Each structure stands twice: as C-alpha cells, then as structure tokens.
Structure 1
Amino acid sequence: MHFAPSPVYLSVRKSKGSAEAEKISLRDFVESRMPSLHLPFVPAWWLFNGHLQTVYSVLGDFSKIDNVVYQRHHLRLMDGGTLGLDFTPVDDENINPETPIIVVMHGLTGGSYESYVRAILAPACAPVEQGGLGYRAVVINFRGCAGTPITSPRLYSGGYTDDLRQSLFYLSTMFPKAPLLGIGFSLGANVLTRYLGEEGENSRLMSGCVLGCPWDLTLNNKNLLSTFIGRHVFAKGMGANLQNVVKRHASALSKEPDTLMAKCVTTALAIKKPRLDEIDNTITRFVGGTSPPFPFDSLDDYYIWASSHKALGDIRVPFLTLNSADDPIVRSAPTDSAGNGYVAICLTLGGGHLGWFEASDRIGRVKRWIKKPVLEWLRAFGEGVIHEGQRGLPLHEVDGFLKEVGRDDIGCKEVDDEAGFVVRTNKGQEGLLSGL
C-alpha cells in the first residue's frame, strides 16, 4: 500500500447509522475498514503466475456463478452516438432513493456480462437479507460493446471521457439523492481515472476504485511488446477483439464511404492477426473521440494524451487503485500517489490481469480475492462516509438534451428504441475473448 505523506481527512460516521461523525485520514480509513488488504493474496496453486491467472480469466467458465440480471436503457448523445446502460437489480422499486449506485466502466471490448464485473455486482446488489450490500449498479457499455448499437461515425477509446461524463448527467438526474461510486476495470479504469482528474472537485462520483488500470499507455505498450508472450498472445488477443468489434459494426461505421471513419475501418480490417497497437494506430487514434483532439498525428501522440497516470494529482475524491505486479498486460504501475492524499495505491505481488484467483473451499474451484477489498471499499463509502449532497455543476435541458450549464457541446437523452429490455446473460460475446 502506498499513501501520500500529507493526509486527506474524510468525514466518517462513528458507527453504522450514527449521526455522530469523526475526521479520519484516508490511510486510517483504508486500514480500519478494509481488513482484507492486510491479509496475503495466495494464488491457487495451479494458477501460480500472472500469465496463468490472466489466461484463466479469459478461458475459465464463469457462466454458472455470479448471476446478474440487467435492464438496459439507451442514451442518445448529441453527436448521434448511443450508449447502453445496464441497470441492476431490475426490481428496484422498493429501494431507498438514497441507496448508493455503483457506476461501472468495463474493459477494452467487454461489457456488463464480464465475469470480473459480475463478481463484484452479484454480491454488491444482492439484498441485505441475503448477505449482499443492497446497492444499485449500472454498467456503462461503450459504443458498439455488449450489444450496444453504433449510430454515429465514432468509436470509444481509453482517453475519451465525455461518454462517461454524459452518462453521469443522466444518472445524477435520475437518482438525485444517491451517492455515485465509480469502479473501472482495465481500459475502463483508465477512462475513470482521467474523468476524476479532469473534474477534480466537480466530479459527480463520490469515490473511485480502479483495477488493472494501464496508466502510462506509451510505456505499457513498449513493455507489452518486449516479451514474446506479450507481443504474440496478449497484444494479438486484444487486437483481434477490437478488430472484431469494428468488423461487427463495419456497415454502420462505413455508411459514408468517403469519410475518415470508413477509410479507417477498411485499413483496420485489412490487417491480419493485428496487435492492439496496430488497431489503435489505424483507427483509434483517428476516431476514438471528438475533434479536437482527434485525430492524432501519431500513435505516440494518442498514447501520451490518453494516459491516466498524470491525472492522479488532480483527483479530489477518495480513490483506490489495485494492480498486480505480475500482470502480463499492464507491465508498469505507479507506486506513488503524485503527492495526493486522496489516492491510495495497492500493488499485489500476484493476480495477473483482472484475475486474483485464490483457492475456494470447494476442491478444484477458485474464487476472486479481489471481491473482498472492493466490497469493503463500497460498503465503507455507502455506510460509513458522510456525503454532502450531489456533486457536479448544475444541469439543464436544452432541446430535449440534458446538458451541464456552461457547456453546450455534449448532452444526452434517453431513447425508447429497445430501451428497458432485460439482459440475461452470464456468457461473453460471440467472437470475442472475455476477461480483457
């Protein structure tokens, strides 16, 4: 665990439900409210290194555990794009309007179906009488991911934060009394970190927790490509995933054949067995967000801009990061908090990329160690920390779009096309490797 030398103090209830409060540093808060971080992570004996942990996260069968049922809402954005917001639990009419909401950002090409997402949400959103936290949650599915349609000539990227920002406009309006607690995985962790740094004290999220964040994308890509397995297994696995997302939506993206997007699609689909950086170089750096700053002159320019490690110093909400030292995909992680007392950095010796599998009580089975500290963090912020109302700048409606006062270029509204349908799946998307 790494903390800044100058502490930040939180206002915390002395006991659950108590009106009495005390000031406590983030370090003392983590040490007292997250006991699992003081216990060693011991990987299952047959998943003894980061490669095996990561491969199992991709190839393991998680279809029979952590069942989560979602209800989807579609958001239409001002640029014509669409986001798929998956809410759970579906039957939430009796939930207190002040109940915390977990806002989830998934990995590179994943979605709400991912096993690492469900591993957290299944217990977090289960009723209290069944041993859960009784929270709500919403997974923000990137454009084109998890069945979300592509309705504009634009994709998503690890550096583009406006889709998360607009989703939070909607959530803040829909649940004005509920504290919003952010969780990000891998690429989604990078987006979440950048959002919190950009917003600072205006963040609509009360706290943030990121797992497997790639941080410095330039350095991370260099390190990933420096090993045979990194270059030929993981980089190509992620490249194939992103290429398949583009392929799945090629017709929607190429409606106008003379556009930059259409040309990028043709180039990206022409690459055989692409690495992630090759797809990023042919399509992401051009159309992974709005112009400006897109398109970028080079891949390095995009990676430098999109990196999240430099945002740590600007975060102004309690923020926990979790990385594994043997992660074969994220090969470098910050070991300091940029002098920011809001940031707690945890680095485990093992766990791979979004794995952290330890032996289960059942012979031959494994469970995710990461559940324990993340649920402790969520419980502590839902029940222990005193939240002083909703955060963020005022919102208003303009021509049917929900916008932030003082900013006219982005906005969102809910649309009815297929909105509200129930998503029942514990399986990944066809043609894509899960767990990344």
Structure 2
Amino acid sequence: MSATLLPKDKNLSSIPVQEPTKLSDKYPILKPWKWSYTGTVNQINANSLDLTLASKDSNCPSSTIKYHEFIDQYVPEFKNNAHFSLKPALFTGMLQTLALANPGLNKYFKVYYGRELFTYKDGGVCSIDYVMSNDQQWIKKYNIGNKTAPFDKEAFDKDAQETHPKDWPRLQPRTRYFTEAELTDIKTIKITKPLILISHGLCGGSHETIIRATIDKIDLNLFDVAVINSRGCARTKIVTEKLFSAYSTDDLREVVNTKLKENPDRSIYMIGFSFGATILSNYLGEEGEKCPVRSAVTVCNPWDMIYSYEKMTFDFWASRLCSKSIVKFLVRTVEVNMPALENCMDPENTRATHVFTKDNLKKAKQFKTTVEFDDTFTAPYMGFKNAVEYYSNAGSINRLPNIKIPLLVINAEDDPVVGETSKNLKNAVLNNENVMYISTSLGGHLAYLTSNNDSWITKPIANYFKNFEEHIEK
C-alpha cells in the first residue's frame, strides 16, 4: 500500500483539533449518566445488499436475503435494538477495558497453537499460529480435553524445546513451533475446510484474551483457524528494517494469497481486532471487487484514526491509562529488535527516513503518548511529515467506500481507545451496502465482559461465520 497523501475529496478523516473539544475530556469529571451494564445494539447500514441463499435442492431456484435480514435471522444478538448484559461491577467502558488486561482470564480459554514462521518476499517474517485444539494427533498425544487425564505438559514442553528456533523468545503457554513434518502436512494436504484468519490488536497476538475467547466459540469441526502475528509481535522477531503500521496490507495479502495457493478450493474468512481491524479494512478496500475473502468481521476498529488520536491524547483517562501502556509496548518492541531495525537496508530510499536509531530510542523511553511514538518513528518512516498526517491518510475510513465483500463491523460507543462513531464514519457506512455496522452502547475496547468472565460478542461472531458458511451461496 502506497503511503501517499490522499486528495481532499478522498480523505474522509475528521479535521484534527489542537486541544480538547469537550469539557468532559479536559477535566476528570465523572459521568454517571453513562454508567450501565445493560447495553443496546444499533444497526447502521445501507439496507440494500442481497445475499444469495444456498439451496439444498439443485432443481429449486436460488433465493436472496438482505444482509440486515440475514443478521436478524441468524445472529439475533445483533438485531437492531437488541439488549445485552455485562458484568455489573464493570459499569464503564474504561473499567471493561482495564479488566480485559487481567492475564488470569486466559485460564478460561485454553487454546493450543502450532506455530509457522512465515517469510515475506522482502525477507521479513511473521508467525502464524494455527489452532490445534481439535487436531486428533495433538489430542491423543497431549491429552487435550481429556476429562479423565490431565494435559501432558511434560510431553508438550519436550516437543516445544526440540522445535524452538535458536535464540528466539520463548512462546506463550500451550504454543509451540510445528515440526517439519507437521508443517508439511499443513501446507501440502489439500483441505477444503474454510479457514478463518485473525489479525490481532496493536499490543497483541494469538495470546490475547479476546482472540482465545473468540476461538473458543468457533466450531473447529467446520473451520480451521489461524492467527497472523505481525512483525515483532507475540514473540516474533523483526529481522528487517520494517515495523508494522496501518499500511501493512501487503503482509496480509501475502499470507492470504499463499494460503489460497496451498489450498485453492477452500474459502477464506477474516477477523480483525482493534489495530488489526484497521489493517484488515485497508486491505479489503484495496482489494475491492477482486477480494478473495468471502466475508470478514472487525471489532473495535479505530476507523477514523484522527478521532482515535484525539481520544488517546486529550481524554483524561484514556491518555493516562491506555496511551501510556500502548506506547510502552511500542518502544519495547523497537528496543528488543534494534539489531535489525537500525540496519538501514536501503539508504538510497528517498520515500522513507531512517529513524530506528539509538538516539531516537533513548528519547522514546520518555514518551507518554502514542502520537509521540508515531511522530518519531512511524510517520517519518512511512514518508509523512508528522503523526497527524499519517493518521489522516492511513485511517481505514478512507478505504471503506471500496469494500466489496460482506463486512460485519462491531464498535462500542464507550470505547476509551476508539471513541464514539463519528459523523463521517456513519455517512461512509450508509453509502456502502456491503457494510453492516453494529454500534453498541457499551463494551469498552475489545472487552464486553460478562459475569462469567467471558466476552459477550464472541458467540455471535462465531455464529455469524457458521451461518454464513452454511446458508450463503459461494
């Protein structure tokens, strides 16, 4: 994706401001009129996309169903004006978001991964974690899900040690690299089962609670599932001078095309969470009519990155509790990968500026906001003069009009990272029949935590893919 300035008539991002525009952002006042644990769904859509229903009888003519009618019938949790209940103690979006960061939640969603190191054409690498919880060989070998015998951690750790690349970081629990034989099977055995590819958030990877909770609800007898861990994320090394950004669409494109080449007859679905949703949406918009993905879901996408930047910079709580932790992760990612990042591969490149220097890293350790990081690293590297210019052009709101596949969008109006749905975004959605936008009054950022420590949105997302695969004609 070319990091060029969009013409004014193609740039749908908000006009940036230099100071808080709301009194409630500038001062740390409490807003009890927004406290609640009972939420409401609001559908925003153009109301016109026709989906063709699959017919079991070849002699019967095919019929159609409107996109919003498909949602109402098969995913009733997302019906317009539907209600849902979250954990009463987490009665604000910020409390929901902070609670999601509790690593103890992962114990409720025990997902098992086999990891592939995927090499891009430019020499960089990502890791792809395939869900192996339903693999019969793994189930038998490690006693996965066996109620009469515990998980054989000793055998798993032994295999993990034998397959682990030298000098690479240790992996998250229940995750190990594939053996060569396992990886060969993954790539060469022709599988027609559809594949769901997941793109994680800015500070995340396959270990994220929301990702594990979503996988926990997906029917693994019907789908294969894999998480694409971006360069430098989920304990994947950066090996070239390239960091992830909102423009990392070529990375997604390479993975999707490779997986289709390995198994041309299978369908591809995708899910994007937070910043991963931005990259995914940009990719879908670039692909347009030729997009090979059947359908996709985005959750808590900062569509208008200007809007999100203002929230993270000017909101009292978001700037102190969210922005600081995110920038800490970003700086740490640069720090541990400096041996690769500081080696400028193309000193003659006039588009980008070499910014991964020890001086910039020293300065970065004092950063408190994400805009400081993007001003120093991301924007100049991508060829923009500052972070705001990068946000304005890279926001996926600008590619939304060209999305041509059925896209289910889920955003919470109390999201402390993304903020409320902007007027520009609403207008863009209302002009694209392919987009079903689910606005929820509550949920925080990627949270939606209920009293049983699960996420309310995970089951309807899983049902969406299941019913789309079973009822919509290819």
TM range (shorter): 0.7 to 0.9
Aligned to 2:212: 118
- Contact 2:127 2:229 (C-alpha < 8 Å) held by counterparts: yes
Match of 2:75 among 31, 34, 45: 34
Aligned to 1:310: 398
Three-state SS of the structure 2 residue aligned to 1:48 is coil
C-alpha deviation, 1:125, in angstroms: 4.8
TM score, norm. by length of structure 1: 0.79
Match of 1:107 among 186, 201, 208: 201
The answer to whether residue 286 in structure 2 is matched with residue 194 in structure 1 is no
- Contact 2:44 2:430 (C-alpha < 8 Å) held by counterparts: no
Aligned to 1:222: 310
- Contact 2:46 2:430 (C-alpha < 8 Å) held by counterparts: no
Residue deviations 1:137-163 (CA, integer Å, cap 9, x gap): 111111011121211111011232110
Distance in 2, matches of 1:332 and 1:184, equals 19
C-alpha deviation, 1:68, in angstroms: 1.4
Aligned to 2:471: 384
- Contact 1:165 1:195 (C-alpha < 8 Å) held by counterparts: yes
- Contact 1:109 1:245 (C-alpha < 8 Å) held by counterparts: no
Distance in 1, matches of 2:89 and 2:44, equals 33
Aligned to 1:266: 359
The answer to whether residue 94 in structure 2 is matched with residue 51 in structure 1 is yes
Distance in 2, matches of 1:21 and 1:121, equals 32
The answer to whether residue 359 in structure 2 is matched with residue 284 in structure 1 is no
Q: Which is worse superposed, 85-94 or 201-210?
A: 85-94
The answer to whether residue 432 in structure 2 is matched with residue 344 in structure 1 is no
C-alpha deviation, 1:3, in angstroms: 4.3
C-alpha deviation, 1:236, in angstroms: 0.9
Aligned to 2:407: 319
Distance in 1, matches of 2:247 and 2:343, equals 25
Q: Which is worse superposed, 139-148 or 270-279?
A: 270-279
Counterpart code for 2:232: G
C-alpha deviation, 1:70, in angstroms: 1.5
- Contact 1:186 1:214 (C-alpha < 8 Å) held by counterparts: yes
Distance in 1, matches of 2:412 and 2:98, equals 15
Q: Which is worse superposed, 369-378 or 6-15?
A: 6-15
C-alpha deviation, 1:255, in angstroms: 3.6
C-alpha deviation, 1:122, in angstroms: 2.2
Three-state SS of the structure 1 residue aligned to 2:368 is coil
* Stretches of structure 2 lacking an aligned partner (at least 5 in a row): 1-41, 137-184, 348-352
- Contact 1:36 1:372 (C-alpha < 8 Å) held by counterparts: no
Aligned to 1:161: 249
Structure with bigger helix share is: 2
- Contact 2:342 2:357 (C-alpha < 8 Å) held by counterparts: no
Match of 1:63 among 98, 101, 106: 106
C-alpha deviation, 1:286, in angstroms: 3.0
Three-state SS of the structure 2 residue aligned to 1:240 is helix
Larger radius of gyration: 2
C-alpha deviation, 1:375, in angstroms: 1.0
TM-aligned CA distance change 1:49 to 1:16, over 3 Å: farther
TM-aligned CA distance change 1:45 to 1:19, over 3 Å: farther
Residue deviations 1:383-435 (CA, integer Å, cap 9, x gap): 11111xxxxxxxxxxxxxxxxxxxxxxxxxxxxxxxxxxxxxxxxxxxxxxxx
Counterpart code for 1:111: G
Counterpart code for 1:113: H
TM score, norm. by length of structure 2: 0.73
Counterpart code for 2:74: R
The number of aligned residues is 370
C-alpha deviation, 1:298, in angstroms: 1.7
Distance in 1, matches of 2:47 and 2:465, equals 24
- Contact 1:143 1:150 (C-alpha < 8 Å) held by counterparts: yes
C-alpha deviation, 1:98, in angstroms: 2.3
Query: Relative contact order (C-alpha < 8 Å, sep 6+): which is higher?
Result: 1
- Contact 1:264 1:283 (C-alpha < 8 Å) held by counterparts: no
Q: Which is worse superposed, 294-303 or 351-360?
A: 294-303
Distance in 2, matches of 1:19 and 1:96, equals 31
TM-aligned CA distance change 1:205 to 1:257, over 3 Å: closer
Three-state SS of the structure 1 residue aligned to 2:84 is coil
Aligned to 1:183: 271
- Contact 1:326 1:351 (C-alpha < 8 Å) held by counterparts: yes
C-alpha deviation, 1:118, in angstroms: 0.8
Distance in 1, matches of 2:111 and 2:57, equals 27
Aligned to 1:11: 52
Residue deviations 1:353-390 (CA, integer Å, cap 9, x gap): 00001222xxxxx2210112201111122211111xxx
- Contact 1:3 1:27 (C-alpha < 8 Å) held by counterparts: no
Structure with bigger strand share is: 1
Aligned to 1:367: 454
The answer to whether residue 167 in structure 2 is matched with residue 76 in structure 1 is no
Aligned to 2:160: none
* Stretches of structure 1 lacking an aligned partner (at least 5 in a row): 128-133, 288-293, 361-365, 388-436
Q: CA RMSD in A?
A: 2.5
Three-state SS of the structure 1 residue aligned to 2:459 is helix
Q: Which is worse superposed, 8-17 or 60-69?
A: 8-17
C-alpha deviation, 1:310, in angstroms: 2.2
Residue deviations 1:311-353 (CA, integer Å, cap 9, x gap): 2211110001001111111113233414111110011111100
Distance in 1, matches of 2:345 and 2:45, equals 52
Match of 2:426 among 332, 335, 351: 335
- Contact 2:198 2:228 (C-alpha < 8 Å) held by counterparts: yes
Three-state SS of the structure 2 residue aligned to 1:359 is coil
Distance in 2, matches of 1:305 and 1:262, equals 20
Distance in 2, matches of 1:198 and 1:51, equals 33
C-alpha deviation, 1:19, in angstroms: 8.1
Distance in 2, matches of 1:20 and 1:66, equals 43
Counterpart code for 1:382: E
Distance in 2, matches of 1:148 and 1:118, equals 18
Residue deviations 1:48-93 (CA, integer Å, cap 9, x gap): 1101000001125123121111122222222221111111227377
Distance in 2, matches of 1:40 and 1:264, equals 51
C-alpha deviation, 1:21, in angstroms: 3.5
Three-state SS of the structure 1 residue aligned to 2:105 is coil
- Contact 1:16 1:383 (C-alpha < 8 Å) held by counterparts: no
C-alpha deviation, 1:96, in angstroms: 8.3
- Contact 1:318 1:343 (C-alpha < 8 Å) held by counterparts: yes
Distance in 2, matches of 1:50 and 1:19, equals 49
C-alpha deviation, 1:223, in angstroms: 2.5
Distance in 2, matches of 1:209 and 1:176, equals 22
TM-aligned CA distance change 1:191 to 1:77, over 3 Å: same
Distance in 2, matches of 1:142 and 1:125, equals 25
